[in-house]
Amino acid sequence: MNDWCVTHHGESGLTEASRCSRVGLGEAEEQMLEFVKQNVPAGRCPLAGNTIHMDKRFLDKYMPRLMQHLHYRIVDVSSVKELCRRWYPAVFSKAPKKQLKHRAVEDIRESIAELKYYRGTIFKSS
């Protein structure tokens, strides 16, 4: 892991939790793939989230079967956030603040809330 990952995943407890987990990488991929298959047809769902490129790199390397089931496009909420920050600073200043826990469930919920906020403010229909 790089220095950022060591620091943040150490502070969040993710590193220790993964070391103590009884679920191996292969089983984790299988569980995730089964969940996604139950909810989304193959090739329909893009990978989405904040700074999702880093997650994609990990998943491409360690969970290729999961990635093959997903759509090839990605939705990077961080890119939307960056555009809002530059083009609509007043809207950006009222965006939901992230808790920066760097744990999957919290990150997913925060990314969904953030994208909903941008949809209702900068992507509103005219």
- Indicate the domain borders of the chain: 24-121
Distance CA 66, CA 32 (A): 7
**Which pTM was predicted?**
0.82
Quote the mean pLDDT of the chain.
Answer: 92
pLDDT at 89: 97
- Enter the tokens of residue 32: 């995730």
- 126 pLDDT exceeds 70? no
Q: Show which residues are catalytic.
A: 102
Burial 23-60 (b: 16+ CB within 10 A, else e): eeeeeebeeebeebeeeeeeeeeebbbbebeebbeebe
In 3D space, the residue among 109, 126, 119 whose CA is nearest the CA of residue 81 turns out to be 119
Q: What is the pLDDT of residues 42-92, one digit of tens each?
A: 999 999 999 899 899 999 999 999 999 999 999 999 999 999 999 999 999
The CATH homologous superfamily of the domain defined by 24-121: Ribonuclease H-like superfamily/Ribonuclease H (3.30.420.10)
pLDDT at 104: 80
